[in-house]
Amino acid sequence: TWQSIVGAFGISAIVAASYPYVVLKIGQGPNVSVVAAFLGALFLNITAYATRGKNRLLNNIIQTAGTSAASTAFMCVVAAAFGYLAMDERVDVKVTIDRIPMFLWLTCSGVVGVLFTVIFRRMFIDDPKMVFADGIAAAETITVLDTEGEGSAGEVRALGIASAFSAFINFIVEAV
């Protein structure tokens, strides 16, 4: 649907723009599957409210694209590290990547990541015995955020309040 396509592009842009900062700030590349699923659910609750409770596969597409965008942004950070090493005269590593090969490398890896991941995502969501913790967390987030009923509203509200509180605490810590 148009919601999944627009959501995938929008969430991917947000995640890809913020991921290099996160990597450089904390020194590692955290997995953003749950973040992308949460942002996808927020987007779908606004744009696809009429189909609420049936948006799991739409959110899965958004989450997959967001995760792929984060991986691509991480590869940009790695490539930038080699660029900085090439500028340092004390280091004997002189690796440079021109713009066209870089663009092709990132584009091809992103496309392959999205295409192959989307094929297997349904299996990961429908399989209750998932082995990977990230897959379990992303699937549970997608399921909880796409259910209708009295209990689900409280869970979504609790997740939103916890996210806002976490962002507020992080802002205070960074400001001080």
Which residue in this structure is represented by tokens 């309040």?
Answer: 161
Query: Can you give the pLDDT at residue 39?
Result: 87
Average pLDDT over residues 63-67: 87
Query: Can you give the pLDDT at residue 12?
Result: 92
DSSP state of 1: -
Stronger pLDDT, 126 or 57, i.e. the higher one: 57
- Residue 150 pLDDT more than 90? no
What DSSP line would sit under 116-155, residue for residue? Answer: HHHHHHHHHHH-TT---HHHHHHHHHHHHHT--SHHHHHH
Average pLDDT over residues 13-27: 85
DSSP state of 52: T
Kindly indicate the confidence band of residue 128, based on its pLDDT and cuts at 50, 70 and 90. low
Average pLDDT over residues 89-102: 81
Which residue in this structure is represented by tokens 């744009």?
Answer: 47
Highest mean pLDDT (candidates 4-13, 50-59, 98-107): 4-13
pTM for this prediction: 0.68
User: In sequence order, what are the residues at sequence separation of 6 or more whose Cβ sits closer than 8 angstroms to the Cβ of residue 106?
Assistant: 72, 75, 76
- 55 — phi, psi (to 5°)? -100, 15
**Mean pLDDT, the chain, integer:** 80
Query: Can you give the pLDDT at residue 124?
Result: 61
Give the integer Cα–Cα distance in Å for 52 and 61. 16
Kindly indicate the confidence band of residue 108, based on its pLDDT and cuts at 50, 70 and 90. confident
Highest mean pLDDT (candidates 38-42, 47-51, 122-126, 129-133): 38-42
- Give the pair of three-digit tokens for residue 56: 């799991």
Which residue in this structure is represented by tokens 């399989």?
Answer: 127
- Residue 103 pLDDT more than 90? no
Average pLDDT over residues 34-58: 82
Average pLDDT over residues 43-51: 80
- Give the pair of three-digit tokens for residue 116: 């192959």
Query: Can you give the pLDDT at residue 127?
Result: 63
Nearest to residue 63, comparing CAs of 129, 143, 133, 130? Answer: 143
